Structure 1
Amino acid sequence: MKKFVFALVMCVGLNAHAALKIQSWTLDNGARVLFVEANSIPVLDISVEFDAGSRRDPADKVGIASLTNAMLARGVRAADAPQNEPALSEAQISDTLADTAAQRGGGAGNDRAGASLRTLSTAVERDKSVALLARILAHPSFPEELLARDKARTIAAIKEDETKPESIAGKAFWRLLYGSHPYAKHETVESVQSITRDDLVNFHRNHYVANRAVIAMIGNITRADAEAIAKQLTVRLPQGAPLPALPAVPAGQKQEELIAHPASQAHIQIGMPAIERGDPDFFPLTVGNYVLGGGGFVSRLTQEVREKRGLSYSVYSYFSPMAQEGPFQVGLQTQKEQANEALQVVRDTVARFLQEGPTTRELKAAKDNLIGGFPLRIDNNRKILDNMAVIGFYGLPLNYLDTWTEKVAKVTAADIKAAFNRKIAIDRLATVVVGNGKQDAK
């Protein structure tokens, strides 16, 4: 049954978007709701997200956000009157979802965390699975024995990551860019070991709250159904006190960290903090980055680093907009003895792009590709749901998807050059090299 439902959802995406109309409202408890009615198949997709990402981790307990989210469905506690609901174990939660052919998901990122549900929209199955999701969000039991299991798994993954050059480079890169800002934090064996059940209970109580919930729904239900479901999902959640303001993201500065590693190749990352969600430079940066390093084999970085000089199999660049300035990043792997040459080629290519911007031909190719490929970003209900969740959490316009291709089409070469020079300075890029030849030789 699950495979059948998934196949149908994959087929309905474009039809759903053809009549895409995002309705939005705010509940009395402060929860924001976004809803798209899509009646092609009897399926409902839901996500519920909170300001509960890793940026909210206490400095000495990094990993709480991730563990809290992972353990939401490890068990739910009994509910008192009027519900009088029994406690449920992890296995019982899984069995209940299986009985209704529902699928639960979720996760925690830097900014946000939450849970998702895909269920049949027919009343019996929908009501049962939505009621369960409401309990998972509001009344997780955080059983001690399963916390010990999840901590052991997390610690094992951390230790494994400590041997991988790409993981080492990634953590060092974020540390260089963000310094003491929460975006720089990453889990350690010590921080995870220190986390207790009480820590999870407190984090959940403070962050999984009704007035900061963002609910997105798309599927075969009415507006009245959506209103009732949104209330059901949040009625058990408490009201949250205002969260403390986070520190400003530090300005980019030129730094370099060379880390020894026995890997055969050097792993290189270059970048600086650059862009928030909702920044008006987003579309010029998106189009320009396709030319610079986001367009695969047709990008300038690939042409200069791979095609002309054979220094790397692949090289990329991208912008990651976040609640605060997310990074601009260039990444590649190369033979250790070629690391310095590859770095210089990357820096020269970025500098030249800042000075010149794209050519007329590059600009047209980038816009044609981005506009032509846009339907693949929303070709099923799940992708539309993910976009709705972003729109809701970051406060983007409700017509964001409807105007996306129009805004791409309007970007000019001058827009790109100006935006790149506002966000990137070649003399303030941080660099991480894991497996640098000179460093290893010491």
Structure 2
Amino acid sequence: MRGCALTLALTGGIILCSCAPRTALEHGNDTLHPSKLSYPELKWDVPLGKPYRTTLDNGLRLYIAEDKSLPLVRFRAYLKAGEMMDPVGKEGLSALACRLIRTGGTDSIPADTLDERLERYAISLSVSSSESELVVDASFLSEFSDTALAIMEQVLFHPAFEPDRVEREKRILLQSIRHRFDEPGPTLSGAFVKTMYPAQSNSRMATEKSVANITREDLIAFHRRIFGTGNMIAAIAGDFDRSTMVQKLGALFPTSRSQDTTGLEFAAVSIAPRNKCLIVHKPISQAYVRMGLPFIKRPHPDYYPMSVLNEVLGGGGFTSRLAKTVRSDEGLTYSIYSRAQSEYRKPGTIYI
């Protein structure tokens, strides 16, 4: 028994010794200080857009790329619109319209049937809204491409806005508005935007009253104004033949919806001219603080240098200066970071 115990002890010692790390002296010259590391030159040419870009007869500006590595197809389209275009008193129109374009049925497919078909063919299809754009996103198996494209054409260009679905989506949106500021994070973000962009189109928020003012006729008018191939830039990539896909999209998406978009303009946005401190009291045990300054508007020659600056300051996670010093070294906070937000539609902000 004592022999067995000795054997086990020696074996354990061998295992431990074999797993012990090598010391710095044992490494010798194998280990370099990070400042002395060198890497081979990165040689990568940015793909040119021209070979992938085409404009269809129906006015659709399309970027298309074959990729047969997987039997999948991905489609995305951007439309010039968004919450900044919502009429005063009907804030929430674009968000509600996008939800209903997807969920409200089409002229030929009832809403319940549409949901069932998307599920049956494993088609992912969404329509979403942000401040300054609408995004259509779809992905599907290449073997169901014809079915998916036919459904997309119906959803995007022939939505029914079924009355019962309109009321349901309005109730869902109202519920989210009622609980919008339950958590301190969204409260902080909303207060910051209101402070930096006072009385501007991008700082107006949907309310229970504004959503109640939206009618089905408003949704139909919104769709008629926004959803045309002339107001759309699309990209599609995946397992297909390029020329065949171009023909399919040209035939499916209606030329009649290639309307003039000169009237679709965003209101000019200005930023707060003076310093201001806003305090929102909430019964919680910790403080959420945001300090910000006006930032550049794109395009701007300093955008990329400033983006690198932000990465070093606080945008780079645990390796950034703010996280390393304030969180890791001093232990004063759990979360600290910086953001440099710059857009084409309005002046940006940089904040901690």
Note whether the superposition's TM-score is higher than 0.5.
Answer: yes
* SS at 2:128 equivalent: strand
Q: Does 1:42 align with 2:71?
A: yes
Output the CA distance in 2 between the equivalents of 1:252 and 1:29.
45
Q: Does 1:210 align with 2:256?
A: no
* SS at 2:189 equivalent: helix
How many residues align? The count is 305
Q: Please report how far the alpha carbon of residue 54 of structure 1 lies from its aligned counterpart in structure 2 after TM superposition.
A: 0.9
Q: Please report how far the alpha carbon of residue 228 of structure 1 lies from its aligned counterpart in structure 2 after TM superposition.
A: 2.2
Output the CA distance in 1 between the equivalents of 2:308 and 2:254.
39
- Indicate the residue corresponding to 2:158 in structure 1: 139
Any residues of structure 2 matched to 1:236-255 within 5 Å, and which?
Answer: 237-242=257-262, 243-250=264-271, 253-255=274-276
Deviation beyond 4 Å, 4+ runs, structure 1: 17-22
TM-score, normalization by structure 1: 0.64
- Indicate the residue corresponding to 1:163 in structure 2: 182
Amino acid at match of 2:334: Y
Output the CA distance in 2 between the equivalents of 1:287 and 1:309.
24
- Percent identity, aligned pairs only, is 27
- Indicate the residue corresponding to 1:63 in structure 2: 92
Structure 2 segments unaligned to the other structure (5+ residues): 1-43
8 Å Cα contact 2:58-2:258 kept in structure 1: no
8 Å Cα contact 1:269-1:329 kept in structure 2: no
* SS at 2:137 equivalent: strand
Output the CA distance in 2 between the equivalents of 1:249 and 1:163.
29
- Indicate the residue corresponding to 2:323 in structure 1: 302
8 Å Cα contact 1:210-1:239 kept in structure 2: yes
Q: Please report how far the alpha carbon of residue 134 of structure 1 lies from its aligned counterpart in structure 2 after TM superposition.
A: 0.9
- Indicate the residue corresponding to 2:36 in structure 1: none
8 Å Cα contact 1:275-1:324 kept in structure 2: no
TM-score, normalization by structure 2: 0.80
* SS at 2:277 equivalent: strand
Q: Please report how far the alpha carbon of residue 18 of structure 1 lies from its aligned counterpart in structure 2 after TM superposition.
A: 11
Q: Please report how far the alpha carbon of residue 217 of structure 1 lies from its aligned counterpart in structure 2 after TM superposition.
A: 0.6
Distance 1:176 1:19, change over 3 A: closer
Q: Does 1:92 align with 2:121?
A: no
Amino acid at match of 1:162: F
- Mean alpha-carbon deviation: is it higher for 227-236 or for 133-142? 227-236
Q: Please report how far the alpha carbon of residue 245 of structure 1 lies from its aligned counterpart in structure 2 after TM superposition.
A: 4.5
Q: Does 1:129 align with 2:129?
A: no
Q: Deviations over 1:218-273 (max 9, x none)?
A: 11122213322432235463514422342143355311111111011111122234
8 Å Cα contact 1:96-1:129 kept in structure 2: no
Output the CA distance in 2 between the equivalents of 1:264 and 1:24.
54
- The partner residue of 1:266 within 266, 269, 287 is 287
Output the CA distance in 2 between the equivalents of 1:226 and 1:323.
32
Output the CA distance in 2 between the equivalents of 1:321 and 1:19.
23
Amino acid at match of 2:86: D
- The partner residue of 2:302 within 276, 281, 287 is 281
* SS at 1:266 equivalent: coil
- Indicate the residue corresponding to 2:344 in structure 1: 323
Amino acid at match of 2:257: L
Amino acid at match of 2:208: V
Which structure is higher in strand share?
Answer: 1
Q: Please report how far the alpha carbon of residue 308 of structure 1 lies from its aligned counterpart in structure 2 after TM superposition.
A: 4.4
- Indicate the residue corresponding to 1:256 in structure 2: 277
Q: Flag the structure with larger Rg.
A: 2
Output the CA distance in 2 between the equivalents of 1:41 and 1:126.
14
* SS at 1:257 equivalent: coil
* SS at 2:287 equivalent: strand
* RMSD of Structure 2 on Structure 1 (CA): 2.3
- The partner residue of 1:118 within 132, 139, 154 is 139
- Mean alpha-carbon deviation: is it higher for 66-75 or for 279-288? 279-288
Output the CA distance in 1 between the equivalents of 2:74 and 2:338.
32
- Indicate the residue corresponding to 2:167 in structure 1: 148
Output the CA distance in 2 between the equivalents of 1:236 and 1:312.
57
Distance 1:326 1:313, change over 3 A: farther
Output the CA distance in 2 between the equivalents of 1:253 and 1:32.
42
